[in-house]
């Protein structure tokens, strides 16, 4: 039996406001016009900054996952006599089991997505693709499915030197050549691309037609696994693979799939209520308040240690 399934995973970065207005809208709107669902891997801090884009992705029925766990860590700079905060993004296999657990358990990304979207993702991408069975076991205990890509378009790594735009073109063509050889007829594969800038999105759209011709189905990873409950909350469902293959993109009436328009993403989109949009606008403030609280606690802790 020929299956020919490809999972397109998109790491959404919503990089800067100028790019956000162009890339964020064109990405979601274009996918909606293609009547397609994919898996989005969000960075928590960017969801806090641009919550309505993330809300739109959920409302359109896409699978929401975590890209960076991102635990905020504070340290005291004795030279500057001030607190320095950093977002951790470590190689997971270098951590002890205790630290790996803490990195996942205290994940800001999961908390931010919960505040902005009302759902807690159960899928994540290990930083740098660095993972082993020990890390998978810890993640599994925390109900986090570990997703790894088979092919990276390399679109986010263009530096003009070792990796050029031509490199990305070659990566796409090599992937399609492998597909045409029948390598994915029974097993399927996962392709990684990024929503980073005009180049990454234009390349994705440029090769979409050839990818859709090479594969019988393009589906979110959770759908292919028949994971109908993609979040910790039980009030949201995704279709089974059989339902999706037959044309049923969503099975939850409150988030029914409609073709999105290119209206400004600061206004409520399909499936969003005004209350939901207002809640989203408060995410960044709540996130900032949490950072301030952590800073205060760190100051108190530092003061106690010095006395």
Q: What is the CATH number of the domain that holds 125?
A: 3.20.20.370
Structure letter (DSSP) for residue 95:
S
Poorest-pLDDT segment among 64-78, 259-273, 287-301: 259-273
What is residue 193's three-state secondary structure? strand
| Contact between 115 and 283 (Cβ < 8 Å) | yes
Mean pLDDT to the nearest integer, 267-294: 47
Q: At what angle do helices 283-306 and 274-281 cross, to 10 degrees?
A: 30
From 10-19, 48-57, 91-100, 284-293, the region with the lowest mean pLDDT: 10-19
* Average pLDDT, integer, range 66-79: 55
Once rounded to an integer, what is the mean pLDDT over residues 27-32? Answer: 78
Distance between CA 56 and CA 50 in Å, rounded?
A: 11
Computed over every residue of the chain, the mean pLDDT equals: 75
Average pLDDT over residues 267-288: 47
What pLDDT is attached to residue 307?
Answer: 54
Range from 5-14, 64-73, 116-125, 221-230 carrying the lowest mean pLDDT: 5-14
Residues 6+ positions from 29 with CB-CB distance below 8 Å? 260, 261, 262
Q: Domain of 223?
A: 5-306
What is the structure's pLDDT at 25? 42
Mean pLDDT score, 87-111? 82
The mean pLDDT value for 48-74 works out to 79
pLDDT above 70: percentage of residues in the chain: 66
3-state helix, strand, coil in the chain (%, to 5): 50, 15, 35
Token pair recorded at residue 235: 């009030």
Query: Does position 197 have pLDDT exceeding 50, yes or no?
Result: yes
* Total tally of structural domains belonging to the chain: 1
pLDDT band at 46 (very low <50, low <70, confident <90, very high): confident
Distance CA 120, CA 44 (A): 12
């Amino acid at each position: 039996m020929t299956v020919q399934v490809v999972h397109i995973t998109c790491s959404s970065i919503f990089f800067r406001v100028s790019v956000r207005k162009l890339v964020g809208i064109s990405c979601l709107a274009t996918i909606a016009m293609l009547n397609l669902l994919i898996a989005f891997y969000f960075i928590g801090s960017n969801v806090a900054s641009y919550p309505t884009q993330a809300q739109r992705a959920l409302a359109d029925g896409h699978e929401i996952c975590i890209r960076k766990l991102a635990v905020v860590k504070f340290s005291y700079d004795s030279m500057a006599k001030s607190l320095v905060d950093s977002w951790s993004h470590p190689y997971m296999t270098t951590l002890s089991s205790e630290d790996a657990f803490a990195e996942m358990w205290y994940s800001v990304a999961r908390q931010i997505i919960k505040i902005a979207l009302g759902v807690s993702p159960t899928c994540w991408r290990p930083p740098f693709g660095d993972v082993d069975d020990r890390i998978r076991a810890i993640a599994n205990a925390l109900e986090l499915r570990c997703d790894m890509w088979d092919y990276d378009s390399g679109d986010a790594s263009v530096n003009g030197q070792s990796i050029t735009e031509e490199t990305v073109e070659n990566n796409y063509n090599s992937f399609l050549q492998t597909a045409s050889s029948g390598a994915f007829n029974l097993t399927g594969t996962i392709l990684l691309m990024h929503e980073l800038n005009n180049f990454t999105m234009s390349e994705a759209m440029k090769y979409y037609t050839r990818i859709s011709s090479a594969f019988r189905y393009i589906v979110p990873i959770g759908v292919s696994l028949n994971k109908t409950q993609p979040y910790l909350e039980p009030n949201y469902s995704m279709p089974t693979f059989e339902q999706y293959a037959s044309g049923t993109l969503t099975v939850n009436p409150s988030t029914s799939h409609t073709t999105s328009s290119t209206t400004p993403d600061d206004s409520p989109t399909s499936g969003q209520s005004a209350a939901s949009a207002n809640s989203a606008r408060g995410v960044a403030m709540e996130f900032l308040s949490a950072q301030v609280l952590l800073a205060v606690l760190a100051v108190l802790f530092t003061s106690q240690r010095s006395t």
